[in-house]
Amino acid sequence: MTDAEVCTVLAPAKLTVSLHVTGVRGDGYHLLDAEMVSINLADTLEFAEGGGITVVDEVVGGLGVTEVPSGEQNLVSRALGLLGRSAAVRLVKRIPSAAGLGGGSADAAAVLRWGGRADVTLAARLGADVPFCLGGGRARVKGVGEIVEPLAFEDRDFVLLVPPLAVSTAAVYRRWDERRERGADDAGDDEADGIGNDLEAAALEVAPELARWRNCFHEATGVRPRLAGSGSAWFVEGRATSTGLEHRSFLRLGRERAAVVPVHTIPAESVR
């Protein structure tokens, strides 16, 4: 790669359609059984000769990049370090941080693809969502994220609601542990259909304001929203037209607003 050459890699967000926590390993890592799909909300990474990361703020809903870690905590930096590579990276952020949409994991996976290292074991060292984001499409994800079983692609539409708040994944899992110790029931309303999210109750305890946005979204669509991963985004299945949101870019609660983002699934071929 010369100074004039720039390699562009797409980093699509992931949507966790269902998420079940099946146990905790002896080292404290949580065991999962989840269905994940890639969606067309995506960051873009441009690689050139040199070093350093430039972040361009195009985050949906105007939520900004303040939650994007810098330095060695940034997953792009960590992925480059794992590869033993350097590059000048221009990261165009569109996926909100701390929303449960795997933005950082998608970026790390894009670095591994750029470096020619489509290695699930290597990806798992960067985070539980990175192995799925490496291949994308639709898959059943188990273990601590390292077991990725590809599933047939399904063309599906969803509408996201992205509130103006960040939810810590680590805090949600800690609260899940606490709830488990006291015998709380984490089965969601959709559990009978196998599409629940075991982290939802814990997330609502960590960030109670999530419930206000869930209820607002429910009222607007008539459909019970589901939490994306550990939050903060909510989603319903269907197009904006079928959910009554075709003319709405935001929902409001008082002076705050949350972005309404129609998305659709994309196949693994679009990720690679």
Cα dihedral 172, 141, 104, 23 sign? positive
State the catalytic residue, choosing from 14, 43, 107, 198.
Answer: 14
State the catalytic residue, choosing from 43, 93, 107, 129.
Answer: 129
Long-range CB contacts for residues 143-149, cutoff 8 Å, separation at least 24? 143/31, 143/32, 144/25, 144/29, 144/30, 144/31, 144/32, 145/32, 146/120, 146/121, 148/120
Who contacts 217 (Cβ-Cβ below 8 Å, separation ≥6)?
161, 225, 234, 236, 251, 258
Torsions phi, psi of 90, nearest 5? -105, 110
How far apart (Å, rounded) are the C-alpha atoms in residues 215 and 219? 6
CA distances from 224 to 12, 19, 44, 125, 142 (A): 25, 16, 32, 35, 26
Beta bridge partners, 54, equal 90
Is 189 noted as a catalytic residue in this protein? no
Task: State the DSSP code for 193.
Answer: G
Is 142 noted as a catalytic residue in this protein? no
What element of type H or E holds 261?
A: strand 256-264
How far apart (Å, rounded) are the C-alpha atoms in residues 162 and 228? 10
How far apart (Å, rounded) are the C-alpha atoms in residues 148 and 160? 24
Residues annotated as catalytic (active site), given as ranges: 14, 129
